Amino acid sequence: MDSTMRLKALGLLLTVLLLLSGATHSDALGINCRGSGFCASGSAHALSEINTQVQALNDGNIYPNGQHIACSGNICAFLQNVSGTKTAAQIKGYVRQLLDHGCTKCGSVPTEPGNNVDFGELTVNAVVLQTSKKFTHLYHYDSAFVFLTTMT
């Protein structure tokens, strides 16, 4: 398995672990421009840059929870708490809603009616990956830190 596939697999595993641990939006926020403290380190126009990438996606592409859909530096768009998958056509609308809401770097938008991210959301947030000689990876989603160590 190449390193890209390994990182994607670890990212999906991390998302599942975070969902099971309750490290998600539990305060039922609706559409918002919130993100972790690491959002400040991203490009001032990260969401616009992500939108450019998302608009170029094939409408039929399918995305599950946790898969990075598009990134601008360390700011990435991904789904959380979604039952099933969403298409790129749907993702395009969610990103547009964040831009229309005034978000420029990070934020979340509900994917289901009711303006409640607990039932599914597209999140744009900082994702940090650091690698050492021991292959220790640190991922950061929201306020939860998870350390994964792999041996090769």
The number of beta carbons lying within 10 Å of the beta carbon of residue 72 is 20
Q: What is the pLDDT of residues 82-119, one digit of tens each?
A: 999 999 999 999 999 999 999 999 999 999 998 888 89
Instruction: Give the model's pLDDT for residue 115.
Output: 86
What pLDDT was estimated at residue 116?
Answer: 85
pLDDT at 51: 98
Regions in the chain scoring below 50 on pLDDT: 14-26, 132-152
pTM (predicted TM-score): 0.69
Task: Report, in angstroms and rounded to the nearest whole number, the Rg of the chain calculated over CA atoms.
Answer: 15
Helix 46-55 to helix 88-100 angle (10° resolution) is: 150
> Quick one: which H or E segment has residue 16?
helix 3-21
Of 68, 143, 51, 38, which is closest to residue 104 (Cα–Cα)?
A: 51
* Predicted pLDDT of residue 104: 96
How many domains, in total, are found in the chain? 1
CA distance 116 to 24: 13
- In this prediction, residue 57 carries a pLDDT of 98
State the residue range of the domain holding 20: 3-149
CATH for 87: 3.30.430.10
